[in-house]
Amino acid sequence: MTIFGIRSAAVVLLLGSAAAAQDVPRAFTGAHIIPIAGDEIDRGTLVVRGGKILAVGPDDAVEIPAGAERIDAAGRVIMPGLVCTHNHAGGIGGADGSGPIQPEVRILDSINVLDPGFRRVVAGGLTTINLMPGSGHLCSGQTVYLKMRGGKTVDQLYIRDSAGMPTGGLKMANGTNSMHESPFPGTRGKSAALVREKFIKAQEYREKLQRPSVDPEKQPTRDLAMEALVEVLEGKRVVHHHTHRHDDIMTVIRLSKEFGFRVVLHHVSEGWKVADEIAAAGVPCSIILVDSPGGKLEAVNLVMETGGILERAGVKVAFHTDDWITDSRLFLRSAALGVRAGMSRAEALKALTLAGAEMLDLADRIGSLEAGKDADFIILSADPLSVYAKVLETWVDGGKVFDRNIPDDRLHAVGGYGAGDDVEPYLCCYDKEGPS
Amino acid sequence: MKRHLSACFSLLVFAFAAAPAFSQVAVRGKTVYTMGGAAIENGVVVIRDGKIAEVGPADQVAVPAGFRVLEGAVVTPGLVDAHSVVGLTGIYNQPHDQDQLERSAPIQPELRAIDAFNTQEALLEYIRGFGITTVHTGHAPGELISGQTCVVKTIGNTLADALLLEPAAVAATIGSDARKNEKKSPGTRGKMSAMLREQFIKAQEYAHKLETAADDKKPDRDLKLEVLARVLKGEVPLMVSADRAQDIASALRLREEFGFKLILDSAAEAYLLIEQIKATGVPVIVHASMVRAYGDRKNMSFETAAKLHEAGIMIALQSGYEDYVPKTRVALFEAAIAAANGLSFEEALATITIDAARIVGVADRVGSLEPGKDGDVAIYDGDPFEYATHCVGVIIDGQVVSTSPR
């Protein structure tokens, strides 16, 4: 108890000093800036203060506030922190084997913040991730949107809404991953029927809640699963839907129309077969690019061309790592391979940043370098689409969370002995002062 | 006798079927990396009857009249993937196309890769499109001794068309991947080494009896021991997949005891044992650069290839073994990551051309653009390691097998 008391005091102290440090404006000058919102700037300046972006523009057009710390970033590339719309770092575990639909489970209750996976995440330049439970269920639980601020507990990483609640979506899946022995569905028809039944129950639950009733006894008792689904029905919680095959993709769209929920299609391996239909439905796609097709029947037609085909059809596209399917440290590679297979440079870079932010309803705060947005950015050694580019620094809310020059950060960026171990707990204050 | 006949027959069929496919072809490259000497600016590679006839600068080597000419910014030897399981494992990942690992017993060196390699596997065409023309493939890591491997070209109607070398190696695994549960052996690392030592001692005795016993006292044929006896003679290398430093050390210890020719495979923590590995002269086929950092490979590093190379250890890179998505990796992309993490461009290229060919024993045929070698060429529209570059031409045995940009 006292130990925790001391530690929180120390944390408050640290946060306090960090906040004070952030009040001093910082100006990164002479960099090639890719703001995502607007054209690339060949020699540009980025000014941040208090965790927010103050200004961004060409060197000669940005006024640097008096007293600002100036950082020469000539020869470097600065772009927004990367947004990964689908990530599994942190040793997480969502729904269990007891049933196919478990919207009451929150992934935020399962996160090991000390997992080295998070160190790889920031080493890859990811500043915001949608941490998701797996795809072995029709619904495996609530996802959580995290800022990679660094922290000892998960609540330090939340992105909170205006009411102070952690933000997140709902993970759903169809196709073969979520088909198992009973009580799980054994066919696609059954999968959809189970989902429809559950949403109909949620509709009824919501109606009961809304019914003007003088008798509080007639209100339904609290049901955590129903509460989460009601948030989905009301558009407050977006469904992040794993789906591969073209017909499964269309099933997701059909169900989202029936119940009016907002959905982001994830993986979308055969999205290229129904690109026009996805565009017509106005549904965004978060896609993954991997080194080869196959590994499962539904991914046999997974091609690198998907991004370009969806882009040309007018579909909003983001990339995701699906870490550990692909390593967060290699996230930039997704955009580069997308370009190799026909995406435009602008859309590919947007797909690493702003498009993802839009899919998480966070585009007013993150995803581009614009005055007023959160100071989440990365500094690269070379063009982001080059294999030779290194993430040199990652900044979140105006604080540096990764620096390739720091040996321990570098260890997690390139790997090596000890890189796979959990981060050591922070015990300095206890060791030095003892409990009081 | 029968075996000889069928071998002759298949050779005949091969010659008959394949001969018309040889196109007479030449390749022009702004830069030609021969990997048998310095790179050539404005180079020409002439391929005649499936073999490389001439390589040199355009002002010294003429393209013979009537030859088809392919061009590109960068020309390299057809790429060699030093360790894969493609062809034994297939794109669908269903029981019918998964022959890379037999789980019925931990020691089965008698399993031949040639009896399981599917020349029509879709993943072969996939990797070929990126310039991979030769793969060392076979039984996967995951059992103490999982079987044999072979070296094949990535095109061929039948095995005979594709085969370069068999057995190329006997594949063994020391580490968590080879461990069994529920009272089955090997359940521990100590047991793994004990079982391997017992097996090699049996093979020693078998080989000794074969050589010394009177004709009527020769031991019965034993497929396991036959191939292990060849390993002990140094005719076939033992490729040991081991990642933790302690497991690599166990492999080196076994080599010291039995004197076989060792190839270290995967070797995630090899950077901890650089001096020990270097002292043995053992080559290392480093895990895919992008291999997942978990289990025995949790301490993998993008820089392992560079560190080993810098110390003077012969290395190659590989696509490795994937049991889920993606079903295979592409050696070109793995070398690219190594090139971005400490290896120079040509050093990284060597890990998927000449050095890979040397380690798996086919450098007399492939791995460099030199007269007399197979006409295997990859053509790119830029730095092959850059993501946005495309492979724009692939030639195998003088046959143009791909020209669509990938």
Residue A211 clears pLDDT 90, i.e. is over it: no
Average pLDDT in the A336-361 region? 98
Would you call A291 and B269 a contact, using CB atoms and an 8 Å cutoff? no
Would you call B293 and A388 a contact, using CB atoms and an 8 Å cutoff? no
Average pLDDT in the B314-327 region? 95
Share of chain A above pLDDT 70, in %: 92
Report the chain A residue with the minimal C-alpha distance to residue B324.
Answer: A295
Query: Which candidate, A128, A147, A142, A132, places its Cα nearest to that of A90?
Result: A132
Residue A425 is predicted with a pLDDT of 58
Backbone dihedral region for residue B220 (phi beyond 0: left; psi -120 to 50: alpha; all else: beta): beta
How many Å lie between the alpha carbon of B333 and the closest alpha carbon of chain A? 8
Query: Which candidate, B111, B120, B123, places its Cα nearest to that of B85?
Result: B123
B181 touches chain A (CB under 8 A): no
Q: How many beta-carbon pairs under 8 angstroms link A with B?
A: 117
Taking every pair of C-alpha atoms in chain B, what is the biggest distance, in angstroms?
70
Question: For residue B326, which residues of chain A lie inside 8 Å, CB to CB?
Answer: 290-295
Which two three-digit tokens encode residue B149?
């491997």
Would you call B303 and A416 a contact, using CB atoms and an 8 Å cutoff? yes
pLDDT digits (tens, 9 = 90+) for A215-274: 777 788 999 999 999 999 999 999 999 999 999 999 999 999 999 999 999 999 999 999
Which candidate from B92, B293, B304 shows the least CB-CB separation from A300? B92
Residue A49 clears pLDDT 90, i.e. is over it: yes
Would you call A294 and B387 a contact, using CB atoms and an 8 Å cutoff? no
Question: For residue B244, which residues of chain A lie inside 8 Å, CB to CB?
Answer: none
**What amino acid occupies position B300?**
M
Average pLDDT in the B270-281 region? 98
Q: What is the DSSP string of B366-401?
A: SSS--TTSB--EEEESS-TTSTT--EEEEEETTEEE
Average pLDDT in the B295-304 region? 97
The CA distances from residue B29 to A11, B42, B79, in Å, are: 60, 6, 16
Residue B5 clears pLDDT 70, i.e. is over it: no
Rounded to the nearest integer, the mean pLDDT of chain A is 92
Would you call B302 and A415 a contact, using CB atoms and an 8 Å cutoff? yes
Residue B22 is predicted with a pLDDT of 59
Residue A4 clears pLDDT 50, i.e. is over it: no
Residue B181 is predicted with a pLDDT of 87
Band (A432; pLDDT cuts 50, 70, 90): very low
Instruction: For chain B, positions 79-138, list CB contacts with chain A under 8 A.
Output: 90-94, 122-123, 126-127
Q: What is the DSSP string of A91-146?
A: T---S-TT-SB-TT-BGGGG--TT-HHHHHHHHTTEEEEEE---SSSSEEEE-EEE
B247 touches chain A (CB under 8 A): no
Distance separating alpha carbons of residues B4 and B143, to the nearest angstrom:
33
The segment(s) of chain B belonging to CATH 3.20.20.140 are: 79-301+316-333
Residue A436 clears pLDDT 70, i.e. is over it: no
Residue A152 is predicted with a pLDDT of 87
CATH of A82-366, one of 3.40.190.170, 1.10.3720.10, 3.20.20.140, 3.40.50.300: 3.20.20.140
Q: B79-301+316-333 — its CATH code?
A: 3.20.20.140
Residue A426 is predicted with a pLDDT of 53
Instruction: For chain A, positions 249-288, list CB contacts with chain B under 8 A.
Output: none
Residue B182 is predicted with a pLDDT of 80
Fold that domain A2-80+378-428 belongs to in CATH = Urease, subunit C; domain 1 (2.30.40)
Band (B17; pLDDT cuts 50, 70, 90): very low
Residue A212 is predicted with a pLDDT of 76
The segment(s) of chain B belonging to CATH 2.30.40.10 are: 1-77+367-406
Q: Say which residue, B183 or A366, is predicted with more confidence.
A: A366
Report the chain B residue with the minimal C-alpha distance to residue A340.
Answer: B388
Band (B3; pLDDT cuts 50, 70, 90): very low
Chain B interface test: which of A387, A392, A408, A423 (most B C-beta within 10 Å): A387
Band (B364; pLDDT cuts 50, 70, 90): very high
Band (A22; pLDDT cuts 50, 70, 90): low
Which candidate from A325, A327, A336 shows the least CB-CB separation from B325? A325
- CA A338, A343, A346, A351 dihedral sign is negative
**Bridge partners for A47 per DSSP:** A27, A55
Question: For residue A387, which residues of chain B lie inside 8 Å, CB to CB?
Answer: 336-337, 339-340, 385-387
Residue B1 clears pLDDT 80, i.e. is over it: no
List the strands of the sheet with B145-153, edge to edge.
B79-84, B132-138, B145-153, B163-173, B238-242, B262-266, B284-286, B315-317
How many Å lie between the alpha carbon of A304 and the closest alpha carbon of chain B? 10
Would you call B293 and A291 a contact, using CB atoms and an 8 Å cutoff? no
pLDDT digits (tens, 9 = 90+) for B66-116: 999 999 999 999 999 999 999 999 999 999 999 999 999 999 999 999 999
Query: Which candidate, B127, B93, B171, B141, places its Cα nearest to that of B329?
Result: B127
Distance separating alpha carbons of residues A275 and A273, to the nearest angstrom:
6
- CA A151, A155, A160, A166 dihedral sign is positive
Which candidate from B91, B298, B323 shows the least CB-CB separation from A293? B91
| Pair A327, B293: CB distance under 8 Å | yes
Share of chain B above pLDDT 90, in %: 93
Would you call B271 and A416 a contact, using CB atoms and an 8 Å cutoff? yes
Share of chain A above pLDDT 90, in %: 88
| Pair B139, B176: CB distance under 8 Å | no
B43 touches chain A (CB under 8 A): no
Would you call A417 and B330 a contact, using CB atoms and an 8 Å cutoff? no
A388 touches chain B (CB under 8 A): yes
Which candidate from A290, A337, A387 shows the least CB-CB separation from B325? A290
Residue A190: DSSP 8-state: H
Which two three-digit tokens encode residue A93?
């575990």
The ipTM, to two decimals, is: 0.93
Taking the C-alpha atoms of A394, A397, A401 and A404 in order, what is their torsion angle to the nearest 10 degrees? 20
| Phi, psi for residue B354 in degrees, rounded to 5 | -65, -40
Would you call A386 and B94 a contact, using CB atoms and an 8 Å cutoff? no
HSE toward the beta carbon, residue B140, CA cutoff 13 A: 21
pLDDT digits (tens, 9 = 90+) for B386-396: 999 999 999 99
HSE toward the beta carbon, residue A176, CA cutoff 13 A: 8
A183 touches chain B (CB under 8 A): no
B353 touches chain A (CB under 8 A): no
Which CATH architecture is the domain B1-77+367-406 placed in?
A: Roll (2.30)
Question: For residue B386, which residues of chain A lie inside 8 Å, CB to CB?
Answer: 386-387
Which candidate from A296, A333, A418 shows the least CB-CB separation from B387? A333
Query: Which candidate, B69, B60, B149, B64, places its Cα nearest to that of B101?
Result: B149
The segment(s) of chain A belonging to CATH 2.30.40.10 are: 2-80+378-428
pLDDT digits (tens, 9 = 90+) for A63-93: 999 999 999 999 999 999 999 999 999 999 9
